[in-house]
Structure 1
Amino acid sequence: MTTTPRTARHLLRDREASLILGAVLVSGFGSSATALVAGVNGASLYAVVDAGLGRAPSWAGVLYSVQGAGSVATGLAAGTLMRRLGERGFAAGGCALFGLGVAARALPGDAPVLAGSLLIGAGLPCVLIAALTAVQRETPADRLGVTAGRVHTLLYAPNAVALVAGAGLVAVTDHRVLLAVTGAAALGCAAVPARGRGVRSGEAEEVPRR
């Protein structure tokens, strides 16, 4: 399936979606995407468990469980938060939480690493939910499937690349430095969707569905 000029023009015209997606694509380590930050963060997890905490590899399961709890909490509250904050505010808050969580994993001790995992789990879904909500709202029904598929590729493909790159970076860089830098980059990303007023849930006209 190829990208048609019509679809490309629509994506460029979608100002609201492009601003939110811009936050996703600009926010990561080395001017990469938030998905790249997530990939680097994932690649460094076992370095955090081993070198940072001195724990067995199985401790990663505990961190993933805490991260999952944060994601569940965000999922339950997403509708209410987007109505109050708007999509930009919701995405900006998610970027900030995610960046703080990544940076917290650079600190010594179980408590900050567990707290960081919770923040990561709570923050990352905000960016994804806000971006996909904007796409679903703004894209005409006859192009929604094609557009959503390409947006999913933009959101998730960088993560796979970053997992490989992150593994190499962890091998040659102190994981604490790597996490501090990536966390700071994600925090800086929060300013992108925060500019201007976000569209609140229920304000925009619904896109007709077939």
Structure 2
Amino acid sequence: MRTVLRRPDFRLLFAAMVASMAAESILLLAPAVWVKDLTGSDGMAGATVFAVIAPMALAPLVGWVVDRYRRRPFFIVANLTAAVLLGPLLTVRDRDDVWVIYLVAGLYGLSSITVAAVLNGLIRQMLPPDLLGDANGALQTVRQGLRLIGPLAGAGIYAAVGGWLLTVLAMGGFLAAAAVVGLLRVDEGVSPGAGRHLTTGLGAGLRHLAREAALRRALVGYGLGSLVMGFTESLIFAYVDQGLGRDAAFVAVLVLVQGIGGLIGGLFSAAVVRRLGELGALAAGVTFFGPAALALAYPRLWLGVVALLLAGVSLPLTMVGLHTLVQRRTPPGLLGRVTAASRALVSGPQAVSIGGGALLVGVFDYRLLFALVGVITMAAGLYLWRGRGLTPPGAGPARVPGPRRPLDDEMLATIQRRRAR
């Protein structure tokens, strides 16, 4: 991690991401608490997270757009757009305005897909392959570290002042990120070029994911885990309310504990990738979520603290393993589409599970649902672990054979001209 932070270009990007992730962290929990406060419903609070993830259905289109433009200017525009999209939250006053929170959450989710797709390409462009894991680990460490103060600060600001100040601070974070990246100098040359043919370009990311064995296994395994991981977004409110007998704001304390685990996981994630390979790190992260969920089925505060620590460790291992795998196994011109498609294939099941969790928590005992989450995520982790040989430790980026790349419009036009002769 120290090696990558010595690079001036990455330090600028790192500073921009700190500002952007700080904005994200204070918004991580507060909108759900806001909805819970306005409606009194655990299900409607959990549905706020569903609204953020639902736009993943548009990920292939987002990736196609991202691959058509240079990464740095697109990153700036994406962060400026994120700041503007938060503006309508300043109009929320009572229960009748909950739809505004849902609308902004959906638009913000679409923006986050765009930023993630651009960021992956920008990191790949700036750094050699052997530093990708360290870069992803550094960013995940900060992301998880911000969970120590961000969600609690966001909930505290909301409780003390209201949602308007929270919104203004988050907008400022995204504006700062855009300004800092404006100072970054990257030799991008021409845009990566996704081609102008929409139908050809949209499916290119999915085709690459289907052909590449390691990516295919990663997304099948992680997608299986995501089918139930999303339950916890609603279950945690029931756990706090019914199990611990505390109000919804106490969720912020548990998220703080999870942030400590995330900080630990982030610090060691790059080393785990080097030792176990990308799929091995992903498998460890998904597997760790299983015993954490099982522990939450028994409502005791000390056990909940242990469970949230373990769940926190799992998240950066999962993210660093997956992001590094995508970056190393994808040609630069496809990276926006592959990143967006991979997020859609993981977050699609997660969105379904968040929506399902919001419904099931009102029908079944939350403890039974936590037990189900634990069993399925451990099974998904075992599936990923058995495929770890596809990404042996220390392996460099796999070279994708040229003839199998998707054809863009310019290539198709050349072929048609030759045939016409």
Q: TM-score, normalised by structure 1?
A: 0.87
- Partner-residue secondary structure (3-state), 1:167: helix
Question: Paired residue for 1:173?
Answer: 364
- Partner-residue secondary structure (3-state), 1:58: helix
- Contact 2:218–2:282 (CA under 8 A) maintained in structure 1: yes
Question: Paired residue for 1:24?
Answer: 222
Instruction: Indicate whether 1:69 and 2:266 are aligned.
Output: no
* Correspondences of 1:59-208 after superposition (within 5 Å): 59-196=250-387, 197-200=389-392, 202-205=394-397
Structure 1 position 186, deviation (Å): 0.5
Structure 1 position 193, deviation (Å): 1.0
Tell me: CA distance 1:98–1:91, structure 2 relative to 1, closer, same or farther (3 Å): same
Structure 1 position 6, deviation (Å): 4.4
- Percent of aligned pairs with the same amino acid: 34
Question: Paired residue for 2:403?
Answer: none
Residues 121-171 of structure 1, C-alpha deviations (whole Å, 9 max, x = no match)? 111332232222111111111111111121122222433332221111000
Structure label with greater radius of gyration: 2
Partner letter of residue 215 of structure 2? A
Question: Paired residue for 2:213?
Answer: 15
Partner letter of residue 24 of structure 1? Y
Structure 1 position 62, deviation (Å): 0.9
2:199 and 2:345 map into 1 onto residues whose CA distance is 13
- Contact 2:277–2:395 (CA under 8 A) maintained in structure 1: no
- Contact 1:39–1:160 (CA under 8 A) maintained in structure 2: yes
Identify which of structures 1 and 2 has the higher relative contact order when contacts are C-alpha pairs closer than 8 Å and 6+ apart: 1
- Contact 1:20–1:91 (CA under 8 A) maintained in structure 2: yes
1:3 and 1:112 map into 2 onto residues whose CA distance is 51
Residues 39-95 of structure 1, C-alpha deviations (whole Å, 9 max, x = no match)? 101110111011111222222111110111111221111110111112222122111
Q: TM-score, normalised by structure 2?
A: 0.45
Aligned residues: 201
- Contact 1:70–1:120 (CA under 8 A) maintained in structure 2: yes
Structure 1 runs of 4+ with >6 Å offset:
none
Question: Paired residue for 1:31?
Answer: none
- Contact 1:67–1:120 (CA under 8 A) maintained in structure 2: yes
Structure 1 runs not aligned, ≥5 long:
28-33
2:247 and 2:205 map into 1 onto residues whose CA distance is 49
Question: Paired residue for 2:49?
Answer: none
CA-based RMSD of the aligned residues comes to: 2.0
